[in-house]
Amino acid sequence: MFAKSILKLASHDLIIIGGGPGGYVAAIKAAQLGLNVACVEKRGSLGGTCLNVGCIPSKALLNATHHYHTAKHKFKDYGIVVGDVKMDVGKMQATKKKTVLKLTKGIEHLFRKNGVTYYVGEATLSTDKKVKVKSAEGEVSHDAKSYVIATGSEPIQLPFLPFDEQQVVSSTGALELKAPPKRLVVIGGGVIGLELGSVWGRLGSEVTVVEFLPHIAGTVDTDVGKELLRILTKQGFKFKLSTKVTQGAVATDSSGQKVVKLTIQGSDGKIEEIEADVVLVSVGRRPYTKNLGLESVGIKTDPRGFIVVDDHLATNVAGYYGIGDVINVGPMLAHKAEDEGVAIAESLAGKKGHINYLTIPNVVYTAPEVAWVGQTEQQVKETKVPYKVAKFPYQANSRASTNLETDGFVKVIADSKSGRLLGMHIIGSNAGEAIAEGVLAMEYSGSCEDVARTCHAHPTLSEAIKEACIAVASGKPIHI
């Protein structure tokens, strides 16, 4: 069943277009449930943006530079004496690529193991309810009873500052830099900008973040956003909030070096000129549907180009479904796409698929990490639901103190009548792992008292979650 290219018509129960987190998970799950499944991916490497040029390589660089920064600046506090610590960027990049290759090959192995047919090529939907797959070997059509579109998204570029992936880079180019630029300007203070700014800032780049909004990290809770801003500023980030970039161009300076000249304007109308050696544009992502043929089939998209789906992930055309970044539902996150992939596979196999968009966690992999699930305090206020809120600082957590990582806190929000957890927000070490407890509690409509009465190992960072929940449930945390 496994083939990278087959130049003859083949029929399947299901063809999935896109081999990213949503697509490959849907393919494997559907095959496990007994369907004859094929997956079309033009990249030639499975895993999509996340595995190839997104989540995985960025975390490899974040982990490496975090270790470097710790060794250079914090080892002495632990009593560890080392010599002059240096970073071999070439080795770091090579290790990253090795990790990515291992994981992509791992997905190919899972396709073979589960009997998923793999077509390498560009897919285009056709009016005869077939999909044309164009590869270096030619073009051939395949048909299926059902189709799942999982083509993901791509970075948005500014019209006056197109990507060249050298001086003006997307997240893809920022992952491939051969050396830290002296001056790095990040346009957009969201997750991608803050993470990649952290990577190169730790290696010596002067990082300036230009953000149109008056805060960073997008939809993060206001209290958490303020704390993250304080911590990153302390780490050396410079922020220009409530500021927009109005013009930009690559130029050559007096020494013959290429630089990027930007014109920025604050909310007060003040105009400023700034220069950078590299500019990372991270102002968002848009659905990727190029040459897909949505119009020929009649699949509806919204004004921003996202495929419109219903509660069952179905498009307006029978037999066609959508998941992941390309659809108009839910956050643009890899794990959201994975859950949708499982849900659509189960539905097409005659079972009941499940996806709860209210309990999808978000993580920012800065240091410290930021993670949250559910509603922010601002969102709860807008619902007019009476609520209680409490915070527990890592300063009062014994494990955080022993680790010398006391920045941050846990914040929980609960319905004041039922005690049901409405939102959990964490800024601190390992927040991305810890948030799973909040996700599980919310998935099963748990209360803060439920979490507070659950025994947590000591000493662990997770005790901060318990203490915050105790504070909401009784108003009397133990260790503060």
CATH code, domain carrying 433? 3.30.390.30
**Mean pLDDT in order along the chain per 10 residues (480 residues):** 59 97 98 98 97 98 98 96 96 98 98 98 95 94 97 97 98 98 98 98 98 96 98 98 98 92 97 98 98 97 98 98 98 98 98 95 98 98 97 98 98 97 98 98 97 98 98 94
**pLDDT at site 2:** 56
Instruction: Give the type of residue at 42.
Output: K
Residues 272 and 318 in one domain: no
Residues 279 and 296 in one domain: no
3-state secondary structure 213-238: CCCCCCCCCHHHHHHHHHHHHHCCCE
Residues 400 and 440 in one domain: yes
Residues 42 and 141 in one domain: yes
**pLDDT at site 9:** 76
Residues 25 and 136 in one domain: yes
**pLDDT at site 416:** 97
Domain residues for the domain of 191 are 168-283
CB 464 within 8 A of CB 478: no
Residues 145 and 25 in one domain: yes
**pLDDT at site 10:** 82
Which of 283, 298, 331 terminates a domain? The answer is 283
Instruction: Give the type of residue at 428.
Output: G
Residues 352 and 399 in one domain: no
Among the listed residues 153, 78, 123, 473, the one whose alpha carbon sits nearest the alpha carbon of residue 291: 123
DSSP state of 418: T
**pLDDT at site 3:** 54
Query: What residues are annotated to the active site?
Result: 458
- Count up the domains in the chain and report the number: 3
How far, in Å, are 142, 209, 351 from residue 38 at the CA level?
10, 43, 20
CB 302 within 8 A of CB 285: no
Residues 57 and 186 in one domain: no
User: Is 228 within the bounds of a domain?
Assistant: yes
Residues 263 and 313 in one domain: no
**pLDDT at site 213:** 97
Residues 102 and 172 in one domain: no
The torsion angles phi and psi of 467, rounded to 5 degrees, stand at: -65, -40
Residues 291 and 279 in one domain: no
